[in-house]
Amino acid sequence: MVLKKIYTLVFLRNEKKILLGLKKRGFGINKWNGFGGKVEQNESVIEAAIREMKEECCVTVKKDDLKSVGQLEFTFEGDPVMMDVRVFSGVVYYGTPTETEEMAPKWFTYDSIPFDDMWPDDRLWFPYMLNNKLFYGKFHYKDLDTISNYDIRELKSM
Ligand SMILES: Nc1nc(SCCc2ccccc2)c2[nH]cnc2n1
């Protein structure tokens, strides 16, 4: 009985800014986040990450330009399926980030990341990503807005 689902989450960044998208529908609606979604049965994690970037903001990223930077595991009170989110970061992309039905993309400087309009866990693990540390975090939510407990640690390698 599979009790976990794998997701991707991609952040395009350079030394000045990070690309986030405002989720316009579905899970995480009205929150700023990286780009991503479910990994389908017929694709690898990296293929899913690339597919979601294209679908959600019309940007092409190549496999070799995405770095695996972390893994986040989310459980929600009353939901037996754990979300296993594979986080990627990259600098190189092709095309222009464009709004779709899913996401409205926007570049943020690092001092203006809208944490109050993001998932509560983001402010806990973003510092690892922004300081180029590999990370592994586990977060349990008692409701969609409240983390009841969590653990995060730096990884030496992914
Ligand atoms: N930053 C962040 N992201 C997610 S879900 C990311 C993966 C996803 C899943 C479904 C649709 C699109 C994208 C979170 N869940 C709980 N805390 C969270 N923090």
The pick from 4, 5, 6, 7 for probing ligand 1's pocket by mutation, whose C-beta has the most ligand atoms within 8 angstroms, reads: 7
Pocket test for ligand 1, best of 121, 142, 148 (most atoms within 8 A of CB): 121
What percent of the chain has a predicted confidence (pLDDT) above 70?
100
Most informative mutation of 82, 83, 129, 148 for ligand 1 (most atoms within 8 A of CB): 83
Q: How far is the CA of 138 from the centre of ligand 1 (A)?
A: 13
- When pLDDT is cut at 50, 70 and 90, the band that residue 113 belongs to is very high
**Residue, of 1 and 143, whose pLDDT is higher:** 143
pLDDT above 90 (res 120): yes
- Using the atom order of ligand 1, give the atom closest to the CA of residue 119: 19
Report the 3 state secondary structure along 20-88: EEEECCCCCCCCEECEEEECCCCCCHHHHHHHHHHHHHCCECCHHHCEEEEEEEEEECCEEEEEEEEEE
Tens digit of pLDDT for each residue in 26-58?
Answer: 999 999 999 999 999 999 999 999 999 999 999
85 CA distance to ligand 1 centroid (A)? 7
ipTM of the complex: 0.99
Position 131 scores a pLDDT of 97
In tens, the pLDDT along 59-80 reads: 999 999 999 999 999 999 999 9
